[in-house]
Structure 1
Amino acid sequence: MLAKLTVTIVLILTGLVANAQVKLLTLNELEARAAKGKDTTFVINFWATWCVPCVEELPYFEKLNTENFKKPVKVLLMSLDFKSKLNSDVIPFVNKHQLKAEVFVVNEADQQRFIDRLDKNWSGALPATLIINTADRRRSFYERTFNYEQLRKVVEQ
């Protein structure tokens, strides 16, 4: 009986920790966060749970996040799944794939306005990646998939 109770408590706490990992985020909040991290390079990947190429490249972003843990490189995973899918799709996906990078769901009422504001040349296709470093005045946008070596190289530029 005590073993079952312990397992139940551990599962509940694990779920709470994992669920707390996924938050809603607006473009204004994202821009403010990037502005505060003056010496940090932000690697922001735009993806969705239903996007096969996105899912295939997520391990590369996770590896980049892990390998740069003590460096001023921060990986943010921005899901373009609908906000209404946060609990039913995104959080279970994050738990299943054990994502450790920060995960957000885009919190914008007008997705097209969000896309246009993020990069005027972005068609809205996924995956897409934005790399920002305010100290270096770097802002690079990529509407494509990456393998790990390609990703590492564009971040190191």
Structure 2
Amino acid sequence: MRYLSLTAISILLVSCSGSTGQRLEVVEFDALETLIEQDSEQIEVINFWATWCKPCIKEIPYFQELQETNEEVSVTLVSLDFADEFQNKVVPFVKEKGLTTDIILLDDLDYNSWIDKIDPSWSGAIPATLIINHKNGKRKFVEKELEEGEIESMIKEISD
């Protein structure tokens, strides 16, 4: 089956997130767009990745650590795996890695309709990361694998 039913997603969310409050769900682009455009006191770090992308997997611990150590930052990992792989690939990956960051699977295969809305310079390659300072309107986008400490430097850059 290509799409998960809302009931299946709701049951999955309850069983996977437990009491951590972790967001773990399949969404369409409008939900991601709401996250990008929200009015928030926190700096938003949004990373685009997939379970099949080795450079993506390598940098995920940096995002997890950032979420755990910086209360001024909100991290969301946006999986670009297929929606029908959510239960058998993404959820087991999240559990295996012990991830507590918010994770959404973007179920919108019409990449050309939303890639430019993330950043006009984005070719669509992953990993890619968007950092937004909602307070001052500054944004930083990178389309590459990040090294340890690089996220913090980018956050500092848009905080000045």
Q: Indicate whether the TM-score tops 0.5.
A: yes
Asked if structure 1 preserves the Cα contact closer than 8 Å seen for 2:67 and 2:101, the reply is: yes
- Give the drift of 1:18: 4.0
Deviations 1:23-70 (A, max 9, x none): 1233322232344342211000000000000000000000111111xx
Runs (5+) with no aligned partner, structure 2:
1-13
**8 Å CA contact retained: 2:75, 2:101:** yes
Matched, 1:115 2:115: yes
Out of 63, 66, 74, the residue aligned to residue 65 of structure 2 is 63
Match of 1:43 in 2: 45
- TM-score, normalised relative to structure 2: 0.80
How does the TM-score come out when normalised to structure 1?
Answer: 0.81
Instruction: Tell me the CA shift for residue 118 of structure 1.
Output: 1.6
* 1:21 Cα deviation from its structure 2 partner: 4.2
CA distance in 2, matches of 1:153, 1:37: 23
Alignment of 1:1-157 (within 5 A): 16-18=15-17, 21-68=23-70, 71-157=71-157
Give 1 or 2 for the bigger CA radius of gyration.
1
Give the alignment's Cα RMSD to 1 decimal: 1.9
- Where 2:149 maps in the other structure, the secondary structure is helix
Moved more, 104-113 or 118-127: 104-113
Unmatched segments (≥5 aa) in structure 1: 1-14
Give the fraction of aligned pairs with identical amino acids, expressed as a percent: 35
Please identify which structure carries the higher helix content: 1
Classify the secondary structure of the residue corresponding to 2:46: strand
The 10-residue stretch of structure 1 (28-37 or 91-100) with the greater mean CA deviation from structure 2: 28-37
SS at structure 1 position matched to 2:108: coil
